[in-house]
A and B are shown apart, each in its own frame.
Chain A
Amino acid sequence: MTRQEFLNELENMMALPPMSLTGKDDLASLPQWDSMQVLSFIVLVEEKLGLVVNGPDVGKSTTVDDLLLLVQARLND
């Protein structure tokens, strides 16, 4: 999955307009990002890549790029 495809999946998950995320987005500034979206993100990664990311690390992420790095780290495990 490419970076852009993953951003598109995140936009879909948070019901954001297509191409609205750049990666540098501050999660705290996205009203859609809440505790349920943390769980939804864990499910999204599991569904798309068959990997389970660490929940607390998702919760601590501050930008969309942080989320992508978490996934990248799991892919490199």
Chain B
Amino acid sequence: MPRAQLTGIEYYLPQILLGNEELARLYPEWPAAQIEAKTGIRTRHVAAPGETAADMAVQAAKKLFATGKCTPDEIDFLLLCTESPDYFLPPSACLIQHQLNVPKSAGAFDYNLACSGYVYGLAVAQGLIETGAARTVLLLTAETYSKFMHPLDKSVRTLFGDGAAATVIRGVEGQPDASPWIGPFVFGTDGSGAETLIVKCGASRCRQVPENAHAQGPDATGRFPDSYLFMDGPAIFSFTLKTVSTAVKDLLQKIDLPLEAVDLFVFHQANQFMLEALRKQLKIPRERFVISLAEKGNTVSSTIPMALLDAQRDGQLKPGQRVMVVGFGVGLSWAAGLVTWIGI
């Protein structure tokens, strides 16, 4: 049986920058230093008008190909995690297959997840490879939340940045008895929390985007028009504190190892305040916990692959280490998994 191995990551960030000084000019009640102190973020990247998540995913994939870690013709499955497809139909993954010259014999589909999406993608890629359905999977994550956010909504504009990542997962033969390089995983879903992080209008339940929504400010409760991203920060925060520690413990129980057996924890990079709360809750030493969002912000499904690559470049992540990746957010949805790092 082939074993799945993560063999390459690259990422792409759009050129337009949004720094704390600019945000502080828009929201004088939040000085730039305070934004950085609370979020851990100095700069976010913003997709240009007309630049879509699929465009950014293509750029990330081209960067990956340029490293020589894989070529388009090797790919026999393409997965795209995004909530910002180019169209209702066709899937953006099909458009990307054509743009990247991935063979027509490859499978390709989009899946709609956000901050938990990378971990789900690794699990799907592992399943495709280890059942013999695919040999080389290109996992793309891409998001443009900037296009969902109301310009005046400081609670989300201070956090989210746009970006995309490309990861290649390959099947490697001849390791029948070795521990897996990818997995196991634990998952979780709680749709009762759907409305705590949502863009309500634009899809099938509410096709009509309210007129002049852009010009409207918040209502008396502070909520912006339904065509914009809504985040109930306190609800998401409580959800995260309740579920992430349980997921981490469940995964450790599944592999029958203590927390100390994990060399590095790479959580979804939501914001520094939340990451620190989770780190303290789980009693993870600072040196075994990655925080890597200062220059990018929360890029949704791409934060984990970006943080993995950054951690390797910074020397925090080394070959042979056992890494736990944990995603959580929109859905509500969460997942945790293990990756044995081979060095990429």
Chain A residues in contact with chain B, CB under 8 A? 35-36, 38-39, 42-43, 46-47, 52-56, 58-59
Chain B residues in contact with chain A, CB under 8 A? 38, 155, 232-239, 241-242, 273-274, 277, 280-281
Cα(A37)–Cα(B234), bound, Å:
10
What are 24 A-B pairs at a CB distance below 8 A? A35-B155, A35-B233, A35-B234, A36-B38, A39-B234, A39-B237, A39-B273, A39-B274, A42-B234, A43-B277, A46-B277, A46-B281, A47-B280, A47-B281, A52-B238, A52-B241, A54-B235, A55-B233, A55-B234, A55-B237, A56-B234, A56-B235, A58-B234, A59-B234
Interface centre among A54, A55, A56, A59 (most CB of B within 10 A): A55
When distances are taken between beta carbons in the complex, the residues of chain B under 8 Å from A43 are: 241, 277
Q: Which residue of A lies closest to B38 (CB)?
A: A36
Cα(A36)–Cα(B35), bound, Å:
11
When distances are taken between beta carbons in the complex, the residues of chain B under 8 Å from A39 are: 233-234, 237, 273-274
Q: Is the CB of B280 within 8 A of A55?
A: no
Known: A35-B155, A36-B38, A47-B280. A42 touches B233 (CB 8 A): no
Cα(A16)–Cα(B325), bound, Å:
39
Cα(A59)–Cα(B38), bound, Å:
18
- CB of A54, distance to nearest CB on chain B (Å): 6
Give the number of residue pairs across the A-B interface with Cβ within 8 Å. Answer: 42
Q: Is the CB of A55 within 8 A of B235?
A: yes
Cα(A60)–Cα(B274), bound, Å:
21
When distances are taken between beta carbons in the complex, the residues of chain A under 8 Å from B236 are: 55
Choose one: B232, B233, B241, B273; the contact of A46 (CB below 8 Å): B241
- CB of A45, distance to nearest CB on chain B (Å): 10
Cα(A39)–Cα(B238), bound, Å:
8
Q: Is the CB of B38 within 8 A of A42?
A: no
When distances are taken between beta carbons in the complex, the residues of chain B under 8 Å from A55 are: 232-239
Q: Which residue of A lies closest to B243 (CB)?
A: A52
Q: Which residue of B lies closest to A50 (CB)?
A: B281
Q: Which residue of A lies closest to B232 (CB)?
A: A56
Known: A46-B241, A52-B242. A38 touches B234 (CB 8 A): yes
Cα(A46)–Cα(B276), bound, Å:
13
Interface centre among B234, B237, B242 (most CB of A within 10 A): B234
Cα(A47)–Cα(B282), bound, Å:
11
- CB of B281, distance to nearest CB on chain A (Å): 6
Cα(A63)–Cα(B239), bound, Å:
23
Q: Which residue of B lies closest to A40 (CB)?
A: B273
When distances are taken between beta carbons in the complex, the residues of chain B under 8 Å from A35 are: 155, 233-234
Cα(A58)–Cα(B234), bound, Å:
8
When distances are taken between beta carbons in the complex, the residues of chain A under 8 Å from B280 are: 47
When distances are taken between beta carbons in the complex, the residues of chain A under 8 Å from B232 are: 55-56
Cα(A39)–Cα(B232), bound, Å:
11
- CB of A13, distance to nearest CB on chain B (Å): 13
Interface centre among A35, A39, A42, A46 (most CB of B within 10 A): A39
- CB of A30, distance to nearest CB on chain B (Å): 16
Cα(A47)–Cα(B235), bound, Å:
18
Cα(A36)–Cα(B38), bound, Å:
8
- CB of A62, distance to nearest CB on chain B (Å): 15
Q: Is the CB of A42 within 8 A of B238?
A: yes
Cα(A54)–Cα(B238), bound, Å:
6
Known: A36-B38, A52-B242. A42 touches B155 (CB 8 A): no
When distances are taken between beta carbons in the complex, the residues of chain A under 8 Å from B274 are: 39
Cα(A17)–Cα(B242), bound, Å:
32
When distances are taken between beta carbons in the complex, the residues of chain A under 8 Å from B233 are: 35, 38-39, 55
Q: Told that A36-B273, A54-B238, A59-B234 touch, could you supply 11 new A-B pairs with CB distance under 8 A?
A: A35-B233, A38-B233, A39-B234, A42-B241, A54-B235, A55-B233, A55-B236, A56-B232, A56-B234, A56-B235, A58-B234
When distances are taken between beta carbons in the complex, the residues of chain B under 8 Å from A47 are: 280-281
When distances are taken between beta carbons in the complex, the residues of chain B under 8 Å from A42 are: 234, 237-238, 241
